[in-house]
Amino acid sequence: MLAGNREASGWWGPGRAAGWQDAIEAAREVLRVARVPYRVEQDQHEPWHPGRCAAILVTGADGAEQLAGHAGELHPRVVQAFRLPDRTCAMEVDLSVVGAAAAALPPAQAPAISAFPVATQDVALLVRESVPAAEVASALAAGAAGADGGLLEEVRLFDIYTGEQVGEGNKSLAYRLRFRAPDRTLTDEETSAARDAAVAEAARRVGAVLRDGT
């Protein structure tokens, strides 16, 4: 369960309150550590807020998906009934489902560690509020992977913005793309080309538009 500030305030600026995206990311972290294949999709499930709830689906050894839990912001009536802080968030995962899927996996292999530096590219995309952030991230990863030959290391969501600047019914999602090569330092041209391919695929799949200044 999450409530209060996720990031403390200080000389660097104001703090940030914990949000539904942090609860979902907590569930993702559990599944990443377990190494099980999973998918996150928008859902409506009590006691979560219907517009801020995600279902966690794990793929088992037979290839079938199984519901493993939910994450997001609790419904205001639930928060009030249990006298919780406003906009309390929570994550619930059935570890028996995760454990069964993990047991069918082969032993973990240590990753190859590149001695070359990571290159990052940030993108801020404008999408409709109904578009899940996970779908945008998946599109970015697919586009970058098709262009860079496997140099993409990570796609991470680091900011969500809704307000007058992006228009009613829209939201801005900011992602950081990390690239690294095993045998060389990447050039700006290589990472920019992969970034452009990622944005193009997000535009094709979910109608994302690159925000000015990114």
What would the pLDDT profile of 61-101 be if each residue is shown by its tens digit? Answer: 888 999 999 999 999 999 999 999 999 999 999 999 999 99
- Give pLDDT tens digits for 25-72: 999 999 999 999 999 999 999 999 988 999 999 998 888 999 999 999
Q: What is the pTM of this model?
A: 0.62
Q: How far apart are the first and last CA of the chain?
A: 34
CA torsion sign for 158, 80, 71, 34 is positive
Helix (H) or strand (E) holding 191: helix 188-206
Helix (H) or strand (E) holding 138: helix 133-148
Confirm if 54 and 42 have CB atoms less than 8 A apart.
yes
What domains sit in the chain, N to C, each tagged with a CATH number? 5-103 (3.30.930.10), 119-210 (3.30.70.380)
Furthest CA-CA distance within the chain = 57
- Give pLDDT tens digits for 197-211: 999 999 999 999 998
